[in-house]
Amino acid sequence: MSKKTLGYIITVLIIGALIFIMVQNTVGQKDPVEAPITQVHPEDALQGEEEGLEQYSPAPDFTLETLAGETVTLSELKGKKVILNFWATWCPPCKAEMPHMESFYSKLTDEDQVELIAVNVTESERRGLGEVEKFVNSYELSFPIPLDKKAEVTQKYGVMSMPTTYMIDTQGRIAQKVIGPLDEKSLNELVDSMD
C-alpha cells in the first residue's frame, strides 16, 4: 500500500469518525424552540449571577426608537413596574418566549401599572431591520420593541446571553434579573414580587 493510499484511508476514517460523533451528539436533542420555558422562583432569579447589574441598583436610563417609530425613555416609566427584555430574532429561546410575553402583555390594564419593553439587540441581527419586522409581524407582537442598533443599552445592562430580562421596580431599581426564556406564569410571579 502506498503512502498516498494510506493517507486517503486515514483522512476518510477521520472524517467518518467526526460525522459519527456529530450525529451521536445531536440524536435525541430537542429542537431549541421546543425546549421547556424556564420556571423561575422570584427569590432565586438574581442569585449566582456574575454579569450584569446588581440587585437594587438604579436601572441605567436609556432612550431608544421603537420599531413603530416612537421613542421609549426608561426614566419616564418611573412609578411603574417594568419588564425589560433583551432578545434577537435568531435566538431559539427568544422565539419560544415571545408568545408568552404577548399573552401576558395583552392582559395588562392601566391599573396594573406594568410596562413590558422588549429591546431588540438589532446590532446582532444578521439580516437587519427587515428580519425584526418580519418576526414581530409573524408573532403578532403588540408591546413596544425598542431597537438597540449599536448595542449600547445591551452593554449598559451587561447582557451576555439572550433572552435576558430585568425586572425594574417602581423606584427605577433593578429588582431581579432572569437569564433564559420566561412563561406567562413566571412573568406574573415576578411582577407580583416587586414593589
Q: Identify how many contiguous H helices and E strands the chain contains and give both numbers.
A: 5, 6
List the beta bridge partners of residue 192: none
3-class DSSP assignment, residue 154 = helix
Q: Which of 103, 55, 108, 53 is nearest to 80 (CA)?
A: 108
pLDDT digits (tens, 9 = 90+) for 83-105: 999 999 999 999 999 999 999 99
pLDDT at 17 (0 to 100): 64
CB 146 within 8 A of CB 114: no
CB 144 within 8 A of CB 70: yes
Q: Which of 161, 150, 152, 90 is nearest to 122 (CA)?
A: 150
Cell of 105: 402583555
CB 143 within 8 A of CB 174: no
For range 30-41, the mean pLDDT? 40
pLDDT at 39 over 50: no
pLDDT digits (tens, 9 = 90+) for 124-144: 888 889 999 999 999 999 999
pLDDT at 8 (0 to 100): 73
Q: Regarding predicted confidence, which is higher, 89 or 22?
A: 89
Fold of 32-192: Glutaredoxin (3.40.30)
Q: What's the whole-model pTM score?
A: 0.74
CB 87 within 8 A of CB 94: yes
pLDDT at 28 over 60: no
CB atoms within 10 A of CB 36: 9
Grade residue 74 by pLDDT with cuts at 50, 70 and 90.
Answer: very high
C-alpha 168/C-alpha 57 separation (Å) is 10
